C-alpha cells in the first residue's frame, strides 16, 4: 500500500533550527512536496524534490533520499510565524494525484 | 506563481439545501483540478479529481451523487454539495497543477457550515 509517515507534533524555540522528517512507501515516485498550512488556511507550496540531495530556499531547505524513502524539511532561524502544520506529499504513479502525509504541527515557543 | 481562487470563502446553509463552490485558475489553464476536504485537526482528504470535459474521478467512500463536480472549462471547476447535512460541515479546498507537476496551487478554501 501507499504510506507516508511524519511526526504528529514538534516543538521548537524561536531562533533555533528544526528538522521535520518524512518517510514514504509508494508504488511509484515522481517527486516529493512540502507544504505549509496555517490553521484555517489552505496549504502553500514550500518545496519540490525529485532528485537526491538538498534544495535550499532561504530559511527553508528540503532533503531527499530516494533509496531510503526519506525526506526532511529544515527550518532555520525560526520565527513565531513559522508555527503551522507542515505537510509532506508524494507524487506517485498517478499523473497528478498527490499522496499526503497527516502533517506535522510545529509549535514555536519564545 | 499561479493563482487559484475559490468562492465563496464561507457559507452557512440549512440542512437539506444545496451549496455550490467555485474554483477558478486565474492566470493559467488547468485541465485537472482536485477537490479536498479537511476536518478540524486532520490532514487533507482527496475527494475527487476533476477533469475538464469529462467525468470526475471520485475517491473511495465519496458519494458522487452527493458531491457533484463539473469542470466545464479550463479555468473553472465547481463542487455542489447536494442535500447538505451537518456532517458535511468542513473546509473544502480545491487545487490545480500549473504548467508542470512541480507545483500544485491551492485555492484559499471554503468553510461550509450546515445548520
Q: Does A20 touch chain B (CB under 8 A)?
A: no
**pLDDT at residue A28 in the model:** 87
Least confident of A77-91, B8-22, B52-66: B52-66
Taking the CA of residue B14 and the nearest CA in chain A, the distance in Å comes to: 22
Cα separation of A5 and B103, whole Å? 21
Which residue on chain B is closest to A49 by alpha carbon? B102
The string of pLDDT tens digits covering residues B76-113 is 999 999 999 999 999 999 999 876 667 788 999 999 99
Which residue on chain B is closest to A87 by alpha carbon? B43
Taking the CA of residue B83 and the nearest CA in chain A, the distance in Å comes to: 25
Closest to A49 in 3D by CA, of B98, B43, B101, B95: B101
The string of pLDDT tens digits covering residues B8-53 is 999 999 999 999 999 999 988 888 899 999 988 788 899 999 888 8
Answer whether residue A64 shows pLDDT above 90: yes
Return the sign of the alpha-carbon dihedral for residues A64, A70, A71, A74.
negative
Which pLDDT band holds residue B1 (cuts at 50, 70, 90)? low
Which pLDDT band holds residue B72 (cuts at 50, 70, 90)? confident
Q: Which residues contact A60 (CB under 8 A, 6 or more apart)?
A: A34, A46, A47, A73, A74, A75, A76
**pLDDT at residue B103 in the model:** 75
| A98 neighbourhood in chain B, CB within 8 Å | 34, 46, 104
| A31 neighbourhood in chain B, CB within 8 Å | 101-102
The string of pLDDT tens digits covering residues A15-43 is 999 999 999 999 889 899 999 999 888 89
**pLDDT at residue A40 in the model:** 86
| Binding-face residues of A in 23-82 toward B, CB within 8 A | 30-31, 33, 35, 40-45, 48
Cα separation of A38 and A34, whole Å? 13
**pLDDT at residue B101 in the model:** 66
Contact at CB, B44 and A43, closer than 8 angstroms: yes
Cell of A20: 521535520
Amino acid at each position: 500500500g501507499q504510506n507516508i509517515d511524519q511526526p504528529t507534533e514538534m516543538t521548537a524555540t524561536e531562533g533555533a533550527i528544526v528538522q521535520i522528517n518524512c518517510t514514504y512507501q509508494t508504488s511509484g515516485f515522481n517527486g516529493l512536496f512540502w507544504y505549509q498550512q496555517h490553521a484555517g488556511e489552505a496549504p502553500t507550496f514550500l518545496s519540490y524534490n525529485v532528485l537526491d540531495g538538498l534544495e535550499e530556499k532561504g530559511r527553508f531547505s528540503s532533503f531527499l533520499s530516494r533509496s531510503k524513502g526519506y525526506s526532511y524539511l529544515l527550518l532555520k532561524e525560526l520565527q513565531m510565524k513559522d508555527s503551522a502544520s507542515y505537510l509532506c506529499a508524494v507524487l506517485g504513479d498517478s499523473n497528478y494525484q498527490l499522496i499526503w502525509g497527516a502533517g506535522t504541527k510545529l509549535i514555536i515557543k519564545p | 506563481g499561479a493563482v487559484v481562487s475559490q468562492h465563496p470563502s464561507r457559507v452557512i446553509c440549512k440542512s437539506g439545501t444545496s451549496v455550490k463552490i467555485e474554483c477558478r485558475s486565474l492566470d493559467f489553464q488547468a485541465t485537472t483540478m482536485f477537490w479536498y476536504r479537511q476536518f478540524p485537526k486532520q490532514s487533507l482528504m482527496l475527494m475527487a479529481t476533476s477533469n475538464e470535459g469529462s467525468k470526475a474521478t471520485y475517491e473511495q467512500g465519496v458519494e458522487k451523487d452527493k458531491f457533484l463536480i463539473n469542470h466545464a472549462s479550463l479555468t473553472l471547476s465547481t463542487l455542489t454539495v447536494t442535500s447538505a447535512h451537518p456532517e458535511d460541515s468542513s473546509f473544502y479546498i480545491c487545487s490545480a497543477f500549473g504548467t508542470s507537476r512541480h507545483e500544485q496551487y491551492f485555492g484559499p478554501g471554503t468553510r461550509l457550515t450546515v445548520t
